[in-house]
Structure 1
Amino acid sequence: MGWEDELFALFDDLEDQASALYAAERDLELADRSRAEYQQVTLGSRLMASVGLPVGLGVLGVGAVAGTLERVADGWLLVAAGDHDWIVVLGAVTTLSGASERSVPEVAWSPLTRLGLASALRRIAEAGEPCLLHLRDGSRLDGVLRRVGADFCELVTGADRRTVLVAFSALAAAQSRS
């Protein structure tokens, strides 16, 4: 092999080494960027990407809730579980299984997702259907929602038609009874 061939082989080797070092550095930078960007992902954005999928939730005061995720909105989600629908307060969700690997950033959500928990509960109240309210402490109240305020709802319970005010901060989920 002549000196020119040796020189070109040396340059090829140096170029290969430089490419390998660049690729390794680039992989580390991409992994670092990925970790930094993932800290912006919220549970709500993962849930939004999971609409239409069967999911399993752990919910404070309720335990396991399983069904098809139908809707995600501001602070709540709707799960269809056989004959019953669940309105689950997002802040009461402790675990989630079956979620999509993807996420949908909040800027891409429909304007309808800005409807809060009060809007969802008002629909139940307007329908006059019986429901079961699950509180975060594990207790339950069975009745009919009558009115919904800014941060509470009125539930008419029992044969004596007693009205109980339930603070949203205590609510974990509302389950349809129809």
Structure 2
Amino acid sequence: MRWDRLFDDLEAQASAEWEAERAALASESERVRLSRVSLRDRLLVLRDAQAQVRVQLSGGAGVEGRIVAVGADWLAVDRGPSSVSIVPLGGVTGLRMAHADLLHSASGRVGQALRERMDLGFLLRDLARRRVPVLVELVADDALTGTVDRAGADHFDLAIHDLDVPRHPSAVTGFRMVPFGALAQLVVAAGDAGL
């Protein structure tokens, strides 16, 4: 009888040690998996879940809505029925959301769609080609309205004019070269976003 109890104790002890080791390995495996999940991967999960988020921007401003598109270095937030904000990932200082959405986003997702590989320059060149009027909010709390004339690798040219006036030489009041790093967000009418 004493021997039975001794063997039962040894078996329970070995089982507890094995469970602890298995839990430690699972925990380490999860840490390694999470180390490979990028912000962009998490944004794709939030987009697919249609989660409501508040995106904090450089300069203190923020935009609230659903993420409707994620590109290589930008995201688009549906601000409601009238407009979409295009935000460079480099200008995002944080995101707020429900705790359940935060946890779910950690699952990550690797995007393969063409839109998910398009960079900000590609998107701006499309807006320039279609002559879409935009509101440009800069990190320095400055705001401009007009039309993107052309976009380079790391900057774009903006013809400045009122939003409600088509881009015409007589309506343009000036031009501005804007580095992508200075862009907080670009607001486009919902129907013109093309996302």
What TM-score results when the alignment is normalised by the length of structure 2?
0.80
Cα distance per residue 1:112-159 (max 9 Å; x no partner): 311110121123223323211111222121111122222221111134
- The code of the aligned residue for 2:92 comes to V
Which has the larger share of strand? 1
| Pairwise CA RMSD | 1.9
Shift of 1:111: 3.6
Shift of 1:28: 2.3
Alignment: residue pair count: 173
| Divergent runs of 4+, >4 A | none
Contact 2:73/2:120 (8 A) holds in 1: yes
Unaligned runs of 5+ in 1: none
Contact 1:59/1:94 (8 A) holds in 2: yes
2:7 corresponding residue in structure 1: 11
Q: Given the alignment of the two structures, is residue 143 of structure 1 paired with residue 142 of structure 2, yes or no?
A: no
- The code of the aligned residue for 2:17 comes to L
Contact 2:70/2:115 (8 A) holds in 1: no
- Greater gyration radius: 1
Q: Given the alignment of the two structures, is residue 117 of structure 1 paired with residue 120 of structure 2, yes or no?
A: yes
- The code of the aligned residue for 1:72 comes to V
Contact 1:62/1:172 (8 A) holds in 2: no
- Identity, in percent, stands at 32
2:19 corresponding residue in structure 1: 23
Within 1, Cα distance between the matches of 2:154 and 2:90?
Answer: 14
Unaligned runs of 5+ in 2: 162-170, 191-195
Within 2, Cα distance between the matches of 1:88 and 1:149?
Answer: 17
